[in-house]
Amino acid sequence: MQQTLVWKPWHNPGVENLRLNIDEHGINATSHLMQSLQGHSIAATYVINCDPRWRFRRLWLKVDNHGQRSLNLKRDIRGNWFHNGEPRPDLSECQQVMLSESPFTHTPALQRCALETGQSELMQVAYVDLLTLKVEARSQRYQRLREEGGKTLYRSEAQGKKSSELTVDEHALLVKASDQFLRMSSRDLKLNTWV
């Protein structure tokens, strides 16, 4: 499966354009995003690789905000994490990666949870702040609330943030996150640029 997805933040100027490729070898997502965060304009490019069972393997991230910075984050098959080649034992309990301003990074976590309605799961994620490139372990809880019009609704509770409601499609790709992101069609995006 190959798919191109576009999201816009609810309140800030910006856009994320992601190319998703899923095959028997794994999942590869390549994304470009531009946003205004806390008064700072930021442009970022990232590549996330997961194995065929949606287990995180690698993140390459380049951010342009007052100069270019980059990072590599890797998780081997034993669950060991490496940040720019250096061991990160503090991330050993983390199962997935979460980027501060990317709606896509919910998808691998939701795919791995495979929750039924009413179930919830608490997991540790390696949280990457796009402004500072700081990487830290954080708690993330997902609860599957209900099915509605061919979509699935989840509650997401992230350490240090207010809870939000996520609406995802049949592939657990975000359609909208309350007060955060909205997925756009190519047509909607073209019309929106004229407004």
Cα 46 from Cα 78, distance rounded (Å): 24
- Residue 192 pLDDT: 47
Phi, psi dihedrals of residue 56, rounded to the nearest 5°: -60, 135
28 CB-near residues (< 8 Å, 6+ apart):
20, 21, 22, 47, 48, 49
165 CB-near residues (< 8 Å, 6+ apart):
145, 153, 154, 155, 156, 177, 178
Average pLDDT, the chain: 92
- Residue 38 pLDDT: 80
Is the pLDDT at 40 greater than 90, yes or no?
Answer: no
- Residue 35 pLDDT: 92
Identity at 39, one-letter amino acid code? G
DSSP state of 118: T
- Region of poorest pLDDT, from 33-42, 71-80, 96-105: 33-42
Selection from 65, 56, 154 nearest residue 105 by Cα: 56
User: What is the pTM for the complete model shown?
Assistant: 0.90
β-strand pairing of 94-99 with 181-184: unpaired
Residues present in the chain in total: 195
Tokens standing for residue 120: 């919830």
For the chain, domain boundaries: 2-192
179-195 confidence digits (pLDDT tens): 899 999 755 545 444 33
Instruction: Give whichever of 85-89, 110-114, 128-132, 171-175 has the largest mean pLDDT.
Output: 85-89
Phi, psi dihedrals of residue 46, rounded to the nearest 5°: -145, 155
Place of tokens 């709606």: 103
At 133, the pLDDT band (50, 70, 90 cuts) reads very high
- Residue 195 pLDDT: 39
Higher pLDDT, 37 or 125: 125
